[in-house]
A and B are shown apart, each in its own frame.
Chain A
Amino acid sequence: MIEVKDLHKGFGGQEVLKGISTKFHQGKTNLIIGQSGSGKTVFLKSLVGLHSIDKGEIYYDGERLASMNDDQRKSLRTEMGMVFQGNALFDSLTIEENVIFALGMFSDMTQDEMTERANFCLKRVNLENVNNKFPAELSGGMQKRVALARAIAFKPKYLFCDEPNSGLDPKTAIVIDNLIQEITQEYNITTVINTHDMNSVMEIGDHIIYIKYGIKEWEGSSEDILNTENESINDFVYSSELFRKIKAKL
C-alpha cells in the first residue's frame, strides 16, 4: 500500500499539486485521471521520488519515503517498475537488453536465465522476435509494450504507468490496459496509472482519483463515477459526445 498525505509540489513559485491525500491499495489498479496539464505526471514523479516534494508525506507500506537513507531508497526502487509517458527505453540497447537491464544490475541470474525472463515478459505483452531489435526500429505501440515488459521484468511490488496507452489505437490500448490489470492481480502489485482515457477508467478503474488544477476533486470506483453528482467530474467524464449519448440512453 502507498499512502500520500497532503502532497504539495510546485516549480519556481507556481504550485502544481496543492495538497493531495489518498491511499493506493495492493492488488488494485489505481487510476489518476484529469485533463492534460492537471499535474498527473508531476504527481507520479513525486510519488516515486523523482521530484522532491515541497510539503506532505509519502509512505510505502508504512515506511516514510523522506526518512529513508540512500540504501533504503535504492532497495525500495528495485521493487518499483515504471512506464514513462515517452517510454524512456534505452536507445543504445536492444529490446532484450532493455528488458533485463535491472536484472543484470541487481540479480545474480545467468545470461540464459535473463534471456528466458525477457522472453517471458515480452510474450506477456504480445511481443515476439524483437529481442535483437533496437527501440527505434519498433512502432510506438510496440515500444510502449516493451516499456511495460521492462517494468515488470524484476517482479515489482509497485507499478507506475504514465499514460500507458496514449497514442495507441483503441484495440491495442485495451490490450495494454487489461494486461496491466491482469499483472496487478496476478502478482498482487500496487499499481498507479495516469490516464485521461475514459475507456481505461471503465475497463480497469478499481480506484479512481480525479485531479483538477492540482486538487483532488473526486475519488471512487468506476461504478461510482457513473452515478456521481459531482459536477466537475461529470464535466470530465461527459466531455465526449459518445459518453453523453450513452448516458442519455441509460
Chain B
Amino acid sequence: MFLTEGIRSLGKYFILLGKTFHKPENWREYRKALVRDLELLGLNSIGIVSIISLFVGAVVTIQTAYNLDDPLVPDYYIGIATRESIILEFSPTIICLILSGKVGSNIASTLGSMRVSEQIDALEVMGINPAAYLIMPKVIAMVFFNPLLIVISMFLGILGGYFAAEFAGVLAPVDYLQGIQSDFNPFYITYALIKTVVFSFIITTVSAYYGFYVKGGAIEVGINATKAVVSSSIAIIVANYVLTQILLV
C-alpha cells in the first residue's frame, strides 16, 4: 500500500519532469519568467545566506579551536578544519537544506495556489504548456544561480572564521590565514558545486511536483508546501550520501 503509493508518486514526478523539459512556445516570454525567478528565488536569498554563512563560519572556528586545544596540534590546523567543513559540507549541503525551506516552500505554495485558483488550467486552455512555462525557468534559475550563491557562502563562511580569530581571540589570525591556505585540494570545490547543482535540481523539481498537483484549497496548499520541504530535504540528504560515495571515495 505504502510502497505502491510511493512508486505511483515517483512515476508522476518523472512524468512531470517530462512535461517540464519541453521546447518553449516563445523564448522571449520564457526569458522574462527566468528573470523574474532569478530575482525571486536567487537574488532574494543572498541576504539570509550571507548572514548564516558568516556566523556559522565563526562558530565552526571557535568550536574547532576548543576541540583541538592540544599543544601537539599546531594552531593553523584550525584554519584547515574550518575551511574543509565549510567547503565540503556546510555551504553546499546545509545552505541547500535552508534553501529547500525558503525556496521550496515558495515554489510549492505559488504553484499550489495557481492550481487551486485555476490559473494553471487557464494557461493550459491558452495552449501553453504550464509545466514548462512555470517550472523550467525556476529549475534553470536555481541550477545556475545557486553555485554562485554557494561560492559566496564559502567565502563568507571562511571570512566569518577569520573574524572569530580576530575578535574572539581563539587563535592568532596569522595562524588562521596560514591554515586556510594549506593543503588545499581544488577538487573539493568541484565536488561541492556538483552537489549544489544536484541539490538545486532536487529542491525545484520536488517542490514543483508538490505544488503542481495540489487538489483542494488553501489548507492543501499549506500541507503540500510542508511536504515539499520535508521530501526535498530527505532527498538532499540521501543524494548527499550517494554523491559523496561516488565523488570522494
Contact = CB atoms under 8 A, between A and B. Distances in A.
Partners in one complex: yes
Interface of A: 45, 48, 50, 73-78, 80, 82, 84-86, 88-92, 101-102, 104-106, 154, 160
B183 interface: no
A102 B117 contact: no
B121 A88 contact: yes
B39 interface: no
Given A104-B26, A104-B29, A105-B29, A78 B118 contact: no
B7 interface: no
A77 B117 contact: no
Contact of A45 (B29, B121, B129): B121
A138 to B, nearest CB: 15
Interface in B126-175: 126-129
A91 B117 CA distance: 10
18 contacts: A48-B125, A50-B124, A74-B127, A76-B127, A77-B125, A80-B126, A82-B122, A84-B122, A86-B117, A86-B118, A88-B117, A88-B118, A90-B122, A91-B117, A91-B119, A106-B26, A154-B126, A160-B125
A160 B128 CA distance: 17
B89 interface: no
What are the 3 tightest A-B residue pairs by CB atom distance, in nearest-first order?
Answer: A77-B127, A88-B118, A88-B122
A16 to B, nearest CB: 16
Contacts of A50: 121, 124-125
B126 A77 contact: yes
Nearest to B22: A70
Contacts of B118: 84-86, 88
Interface residues of B, number: 17
Contacts of A74: 25, 127, 129
Contact of B119 (A90, A105, A160): A90
A80 to B, nearest CB: 6
A107 to B, nearest CB: 9
A101 B126 contact: yes
Contacts of B128: 102, 105
Contacts of B29: 104-105
A28 B8 CA distance: 44
Contact of A78 (B117, B121, B127): B127
A91 to B, nearest CB: 7
A106 B127 contact: yes
B126 to A, nearest CB: 5
A223 to B, nearest CB: 32
B125 A105 contact: no
B127 to A, nearest CB: 3
A82 B125 contact: yes
A199 B113 CA distance: 33
A77 B26 CA distance: 15
Contacts of A48: 125
Contacts of A90: 119, 122
Contacts of B129: 74
A59 to B, nearest CB: 18
B121 A106 contact: no
A170 to B, nearest CB: 25
B126 A78 contact: yes
Contacts of A160: 125
A164 B28 CA distance: 32
A49 to B, nearest CB: 8
Nearest to A78: B127
A85 B25 CA distance: 26
Interface string B1-37: 0000000000000000000000001101100000010
Contacts of B25: 74, 105-106
A84 B126 contact: no
